[in-house]
Structure 1
Amino acid sequence: MTRCLRRIAPLALALCHLAAATPAAAQESAAAEALFDRGLADMEAGKYETGCASIAESHRIEPKPGALFTLAICESRWGRVASAFTRFGDYLALYEQMTPDQKSRQGERAKVARKERDRLGPLVPELSLSLPPGAPAGTVVKRDGRAVDGALLGKGVPVEPGEHVVSTQAPGGPVWETRIQLAEGEKKRVALQVNGASTAAPSGGISGRRTAAFVAGGVGVAGLVLGGVTGALTLGKKSVVEEHCGSAIGVSDETACDQTGIDAAESASTTGLVSTIGFGLGLAGLGAAAVLFLTEPKQGEEAAAATSRRIRARVLAAGPDGVVIGARGAW
């Protein structure tokens, strides 16, 4: 008796699990059927949004070929040509895996699915999205609130007709957003923007080298202005010195001056030094700006220039007698 009980115990346990699972499965099947009936009624009444949603949920709970086919019909009537085209394709793929007996129970559904898929194909719009050159790594592209797989960028993706909201966001940057309208069968390519991204030269931005050239040029102009102003002051002091030194004040020593001449000579010495330095800086700044402009890589050559040659403009020497500017680099 004990040996017999041991043999039937596993079978009894399995039957218990099956008995417990059967009510739950029956409940899910009943829920799926109720959702399908409700969705079918809404679809026939022209309430496609709620009807298709109910049928889709019914198919999710209990996947059946009939529910999938009806969902494709609902989405087709709703105007969601991309979804309907995909659903019909899914149904036909499932149909090809059926046994002859199962296929016979599907009636004319396969024939209708093929006909509808052929009709819908030319109506499905395609949208191709691409990021600009130089977009930061990790930039997120979203279409209608959902992230777009990076592998799909630059490729035509089937979408529904109508308006689509597309956005980009670089890591830590602001969101850029645009709205795109697509008609049935339209194929559109859209070059996206990325706010706060360092893009390539075609974006119209000013390169760092050109910015440095502008700064150097500004310093050069300021230096020349300073040199000119202080030079004019020095010339003015020189005439004062001539009037208050040497024979002008009745002494034979031309280096002897009265107090006015001494003050003018000291002031002229200071302004003369400032003028010399100003002219030197001015020439150095303008020379550096010229070198930076002349050695700036052209568009499309910047990447090659970064690896094949390096040029640095610099002031080699500066002093009261002038400046020396040049360029150092390697090819």
Structure 2
Amino acid sequence: MHHPISIANLRAALFTSALALSTVTAATWAEAQGAAPESATAEQKATAQKAFEKGMKASKAKKHEDALAAFKESYGAVASPNSHLMVARELVELGRLEEAWAEYEKTVVEAEAAAQKDPKYADTATGAKNEQNDLKGKLGFVKLTVTGAGPGSRVTVRGKEIPEADWGKPVAVMPGSVRVELVASDGKEIVQEVNATAGSETPVTLAPPAAAPAAGNAAGEGSAKLEASTSGKGPSMRTWAYIAGGVGVAGLATFGIFGAMNNAKHSKLEDECKDGVCPSNLEDEKDTGKTYQTIANVGLVVGVVGLGTGTVLYLMSGKKTEKAAALPKRRGPRVESVSVGYQSVLVSGSF
């Protein structure tokens, strides 16, 4: 038997979980941004330089996950465009081209602003632009046109929410099938599946369905309302299964990333602390390690719950589809050597 209240509660819980996880992840990376290069203290610069050199060593050894974590750590001490550029490069090495595209874009903005105070960052901006341009032939781009969407509407591309301010910008994606969704504030959704081709833009137009016309008489109006209430629906159970699964995958990814960063901090403390006693200047390192561990644990819990919920909903949606297939259809309203920027960072070895 269908229970509207239970489904509503489930939708609210899943949306809250997804929002919480995305907020934690986004806030963590935002908080990881360190001091501006021109205002960083000598201690912050030393910490950033040490992490940067660690990242360079890991990158040369082809340990790109370790290198990515180290460059993020360096950027967390001093927000140098050079560290940010190395983050983008490691994402390329890991095959995470959609993320790399976004980080290159941010690096260009940062480097151009920093170059106004320190000309050396002009090469970083040029290098980031050139390397981002090299990705154009490997990525497809979804060009969104959203019309008639009211306040509170959300747009996702392959499960990633696109900020409203970016709805008019091409979204970088890996070539292949791409699911694009518009979810209105009332829960109604418009879904399009398109095929993205490397090196080209694929236009997608999203618009909520027009409101149903008013009935001509009281009896007809009552019938239309009854039909709409029984046949109209929000997102399907399988859609919520995909959302829950996406939350789970994001949670496990958060666990993996911050678990690795926590292990790096732990190893550093083991190397520099003698007989369990750590110098006072390492207290911040301990606190940072605890923060990484907490975030990793939260990610693990959200990951397990999300994947578990997604699996159950997916299985239930299959049964629901089988039952629906046996019923007669009802008619009614339907409601991602030397060259400018790249080698300059490698040769100079500065963050």
Bigger RCO (CA 8 Å, 6+ sep): 2
TM-score normalised by the chain length of structure 2: 0.38
Greater C-alpha radius of gyration:
1
TM-score normalised by the chain length of structure 1: 0.40
More strand, by proportion: 1
